[in-house]
């Protein structure tokens, strides 16, 4: 599982984001509550993006190391 520095996982963030989207889609919220939900959704999106970016960086480092190993074996 991918974790943010607060110890929450990507799955936690996505679960919360799903709740936010469901609340917005319900149509039962006032304008002010809708804006609050939207704001929370933006924050959660940024957290998800941060966790995914870290994971992408780790994958890039690992795949780059594989390419270097392949090059050393051929030489």
One digit per residue, the tens of pLDDT, for the chain of length 75 reads: 555 556 789 999 999 999 999 999 999 999 999 999 999 999 999 999 999 999 999 999 999 888 866 666 655
Number of domains in the chain: 1
Whole-prediction pTM:
0.76
In a domain, 40, yes or no: yes
Instruction: Kindly state the DSSP code that residue 22 receives in the 8-state scheme.
Output: H
Query: What pLDDT was estimated at residue 21?
Result: 97
Residue 4 lies in a domain: no
What's the CA gap between 36 and 42, in Å, rounded? 10
Identify the domain containing residue 30 by its residue range. Answer: 10-74
Q: Which two tokens stand for residue 3?
A: 């974790």
The H or E element spanning position 66 is helix 31-74
Report CA-CA distances (Å) from 21 to 5, 34, 61.
Answer: 24, 10, 34
Query: Three-class SS of residue 38?
Result: helix
Q: What does the pLDDT read at residue 36?
A: 98
């Amino acid at each position: 599982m991918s974790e943010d520095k607060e110890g929450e996982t990507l799955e936690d963030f996505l679960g919360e984001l799903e709740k936010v989207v469901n609340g917005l889609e319900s149509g039962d919220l006032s304008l002010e509550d809708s804006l609050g939900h939207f704001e929370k959704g933006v924050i959660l999106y940024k957290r998800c993006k941060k966790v995914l970016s870290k994971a992408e960086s780790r994958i890039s480092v690992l795949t780059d190391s594989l390419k270097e190993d392949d090059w050393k074996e051929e030489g």
